[in-house]
Amino acid sequence: MASTSSAEGAHQTNPEKVKLVTVLSIDGGGVRGIIPAIILSFLEEKLQELDGPDARIADYFDVVAGTSTGGLLTAMLTAPGKNGRPLFDAKDLAQFYIDHSPKIFPQKNWILSKIFGTLRMVRGPKYDGKYLHALLRQYLGDLRLDKALTNVIIPTFDIAFLQPTIFSSFELKQRPYKNALLSDISIGTSAAPTFFPAHYFETKDANGSTRAFNLVDGGLAANNPTLCAMNQVTKDIILGDGDFFPVKPVDYGKFMVISLGCGSNRKSRYSAKAAAKWGIFNWLIKDGTAPIIDMFNAASGDMVDIHLCVLFRALRSSHNYLRIQYDQLTGSAGSIDDCSKENVDKLVKIGKDLLNKTVSRVDLETGWNVDVPGEGTNAEKLAKFAKQLSDERRLRQKLPK
């Protein structure tokens, strides 16, 4: 699969080699990105058991998509380091959050932090984002989207146009102005309203034409970017890039998808009687959370999951779709910015425990995840997917070009 850059890697593969189009998708969720980071570490470990210690996530997926904190994880998994290999090993991702979250989301005394944090959110963003911006500039440097080691898709939302702006490797030929710095894309997709300031930057194409971007969190458009990724691949097929994706535009049966959530809190539900009395302030800030943002994110994630569950089931290929999401976050674990040691340890434990939980799907009527009979645990399913990914990669490498 793609092993140098998206442009080179894609065209090194001829149609006879591609039996599956492999997609990895990572939701948004702030510090809760620790949860998918734990899952990714397990998956990469299984790939290394099959193909050796140099195996990396980016070697096996045709597309890696991420929104908000998932966009940060996507960049870290696919950006090349000095040796041309991925900047981060998956096993280091959770530690990245543990080390840097306290400075990304600086907290003081808990009670004072909650009070002053709420006051800041009334007047402006809760955090200035300076540490996060500097961190991303440091790690990603001058790397642009076209240097990613496989095809990357990162949704954002442009408030100047009031519409989603998707940074996609597939669009660079037709829209070269989207070949932005990975650091700018990552800052933009993670600029959650009320938490971080909107992000402005400009790009220039080969003709010197300038394009301005005014971005906020991609979660406003697609907190779960799985369907967005599949649509981008389908669009690429329709436009004629059949040398890499030799499937028909609606041949979703050849997709293999792993979709990772950052957890949700189904227990913090609201009643119509209470919400009927809310004003703007309560919709934006209530009990240390932002209800309207939580609702947007939950709705976005679940609708995509429901759509894909139905689609893969109709195509009799449910075995090719895996959604891993924890829906019972409580207390501080449901926050996107609580980076206390106690909460971070809790998130790490949730990620590890999630591996041992039974494969599940969201139920449209109840909103709860329900076990899928006969599928085993998430860890067992990931191990099977790792074998499929390894087999697909070996097949592509073995057959003549």
Q: What is the pLDDT of residue 116?
A: 55
pLDDT of 62 higher than 90:
yes
**Could you tell me the two tokens for 116?**
């002053």
Top-confidence residue, 72 or 336 = 72
Contact 259, 324 (CB under 8 A): yes
Top-confidence residue, 81 or 400 = 81
The ranges assigned to domains in the chain are 21-398
* Mean pLDDT across 234-238: 79
pLDDT tier at 246 (50, 70, 90 boundaries)? low
pLDDT tier at 268 (50, 70, 90 boundaries)? low
Q: What percent of the chain has pLDDT over 90?
A: 56
Instruction: Supply the residues annotated as catalytic.
Output: 68, 217
pLDDT of 267 higher than 80:
no
Q: What is the pLDDT of residues 315-349, one digit of tens each?
A: 778 889 999 999 888 888 888 899 999 999 999 99
In this structure, of 42-46, 288-292, 352-356, the range with the lowest mean pLDDT score is: 288-292
pLDDT tier at 382 (50, 70, 90 boundaries)? very high
Average pLDDT, the chain: 86
In this structure, of 345-349, 363-367, 378-382, the range with the lowest mean pLDDT score is: 363-367
- CATH top class, domain 21-398: alpha beta
Q: What is the pLDDT of residue 8?
A: 41
Q: What is the pLDDT of residues 87-139, one digit of tens each?
A: 999 999 999 999 999 999 997 654 555 555 555 556 678 899 999 999 999 99
Q: What is the pTM (predicted TM-score) of this model?
A: 0.89
